[in-house]
């Protein structure tokens, strides 16, 4: 390998960006002081385990509920992790339609341990899906790197950085009571910059896509904010609001604007996709034919964007629809009247989520096309 070709300008920029990002995240996490923010269950722990023997099995299929297993088992389990590793216990495992953990010999399980003055009480909590989940994540990472090559690996790094930022910076800031919309917007700008630089360094494409992405997400957020303002929709109407209010009383969490923040984050990925697609297409058109004017490049970008906006808007709306599928089934089965349906909090919120994100995608197309067309013509690489 020619290391001079590998260690070029773009690689240096990506490396420096990654190092600075990691340092900033570490410093921010230290500054936030997350100790005590999470209300963990006291005297309760969860351990890996496995079923080593089925002593009794009184489980039968219930034909009335699609063959769901019902009944009870007496299972001998062994703890395979933690301070109680190697301990063996005989547990009663009651199986119903909602709690349906059917154990066989060798089945990996998660064991819940409750400690009190009389000792430790074990119960079967759920299947142990750890290996399966990590295997699927590893498969995703391998496919992304193999098929995407260096850019796939860069995209993986970008995704990891974004997730770390959300879980270890954004969520703690919410809980500590910082203004939710403000910190979300700052995080989105930072994630957009870092994401594009790690994937494609700093160039005309990434500058155009970055500016367009930020503008598109801002549009989604503004639309969601004003619809929520005039429609009296806030984070208090969500299913998790009651529990969040209990946390808010202890730590200062502000629930009101979390709905808008969720829409901003949800629309970011789709908007980034559309923005980069258009910016990259206009860049390639200009590279092939440098004589094209900014107007011609803009019109070409719009034509490309029309195809992209249709599919991405569908993706976003269908994603929200799929997430609410059970709710839609309940609404359909109960025959809720149209007037009641359109003014139900949950339905109005889901509609706002889908439309706000889709409007952001649609408006990103002309914004990126305009910015990219002018940058390509007026700025030298």
Q: How confident is the model at residue 39 (pLDDT cuts 50, 70, 90)?
A: low
Mean pLDDT of the region 231-237: 75
Instruction: Report the range out of 98-102, 236-240, 367-371 with the highest average pLDDT.
Output: 367-371
What pLDDT sits at residue 36? 59
> Which strand (E) or helix (H) includes residue 37?
none
Instruction: Report the range out of 23-27, 31-35, 63-67, 146-150 with the highest average pLDDT.
Output: 146-150
Mean pLDDT of the region 152-180: 87
For residue 106, pLDDT beyond 80: yes
SS3 call for 99: coil
Instruction: Report the range out of 63-72, 203-212, 226-235 with the highest average pLDDT.
Output: 203-212
Q: Which of 207, 363, 376 is nearest to 294 (CA)?
A: 376
Residues in the chain: 381
Q: What is the pTM of this model?
A: 0.81
Mean pLDDT of the region 124-132: 92
CA distance 370 to 212: 9
Give the Cβ contact number of residue 53 at 10 Å: 14
| 242 vs 161 pLDDT, higher one | 161
Instruction: Report the range out of 64-68, 136-140, 333-337 with the highest average pLDDT.
Output: 136-140
Burial of 138 per CB tally in 10 Å (0-12, 13-18, 19+): exposed
What pLDDT sits at residue 214? 92
Establish how many alpha carbons lie within 13 A of residue 226's alpha carbon, considering only the half-sphere containing its beta carbon: 7
What pLDDT sits at residue 1? 46
DSSP characters over 164-214: HHIIIIIHHHHHTT--HHHHHHHHHHHHHHHHHHHHH-SSHHHHHHHHHHH
Phi-psi region of 344 (alpha: psi -120 to 50; beta: other; left: phi over 0): beta
Q: What residue ranges define each of the domains in the chain, with the CATH number in brackets?
A: 44-128 (2.40.50), 149-378 (1.20.1640)
pLDDT digits (tens, 9 = 90+) for 143-153: 999 998 888 88
Mean pLDDT of the region 167-175: 87
Q: Which of 98, 123, 127 is nearest to 44 (CA)?
A: 123
What pLDDT sits at residue 262? 86
| 261 vs 34 pLDDT, higher one | 261
What pLDDT sits at residue 132? 94
CA distance 261 to 252: 17
CA distance 55 to 225: 58
Establish how many alpha carbons lie within 13 A of residue 68's alpha carbon, considering only the half-sphere containing its beta carbon: 11
How much of the chain, in percent, has pLDDT values that exceed 90?
Answer: 23
Averaged confidence pLDDT in the chain: 84
For residue 172, pLDDT beyond 80: yes
What pLDDT sits at residue 3? 53
What pLDDT sits at residue 37? 60
pLDDT digits (tens, 9 = 90+) for 247-290: 766 667 777 888 888 888 888 888 888 898 899 999 999 988 88
CA distance 39 to 36: 7
């Amino acid at each position: 390998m020619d290391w001079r070709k590998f260690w070029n300008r773009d690689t240096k920029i990506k490396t420096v960006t990654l190092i600075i990002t990691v340092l900033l995240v570490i410093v921010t996490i230290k500054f936030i002081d997350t100790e005590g923010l999470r209300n963990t269950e006291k005297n309760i722990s969860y351990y890996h385990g496995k079923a080593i023997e089925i002593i009794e099995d009184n489980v039968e299929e219930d034909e009335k509920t699609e063959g769901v297993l019902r009944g009870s088992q007496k299972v001998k389990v062994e703890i395979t992790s933690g301070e109680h590793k190697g301990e063996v216990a005989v547990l009663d495992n009651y199986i119903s339609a909602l709690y349906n953990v059917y154990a066989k010999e060798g089945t990996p399980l998660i064991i819940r341990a409750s400690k009190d003055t009389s000792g430790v009480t074990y119960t079967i909590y759920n299947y142990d899906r750890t290996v399966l989940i990590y295997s699927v994540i590893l498969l995703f990472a391998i496919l992304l790197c193999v098929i995407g090559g260096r850019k796939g690996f860069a995209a993986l790094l970008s995704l990891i950085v974004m997730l770390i930022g959300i879980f270890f910076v954004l969520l703690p800031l919410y809980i500590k009571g910082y203004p939710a919309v403000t910190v979300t917007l700052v995080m989105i700008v930072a994630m957009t910059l870092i994401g594009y630089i790690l994937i494609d360094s700093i160039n005309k494409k990434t500058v155009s896509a970055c500016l367009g992405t930020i503008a598109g997400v801002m549009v989604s957020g503004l639309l969601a904010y004003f619809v929520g303002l005039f429609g009296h929709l806030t984070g208090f109407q969500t299913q998790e609001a009651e529990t969040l209010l209990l946390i808010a009383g202890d730590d200062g969490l502000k629930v009101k604007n979390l709905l808008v923040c969720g829409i901003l984050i949800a629309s970011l990925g789709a908007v980034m996709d559309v923005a980069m697609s258009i910016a990259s297409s206009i860049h390639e058109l200009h590279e092939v034919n440098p004589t094209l004017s900014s107007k011609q490049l803009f019109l070409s970008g719009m034509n490309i964007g029309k195809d992209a906006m249709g599919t991405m808007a569908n993706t976003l709306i269908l994603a929200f629809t799929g997430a609410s599928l059970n709710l839609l089934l309940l609404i359909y089965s109960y025959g809720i009247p149209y007037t009641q349906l359109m003014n139900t909090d949950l339905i109005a919120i889901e509609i706002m989520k889908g439309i706000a994100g889709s409007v952001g995608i649609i408006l990103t197309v002309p914004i990126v096309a305009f910015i990219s067309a002018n940058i390509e013509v007026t700025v030298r690489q």
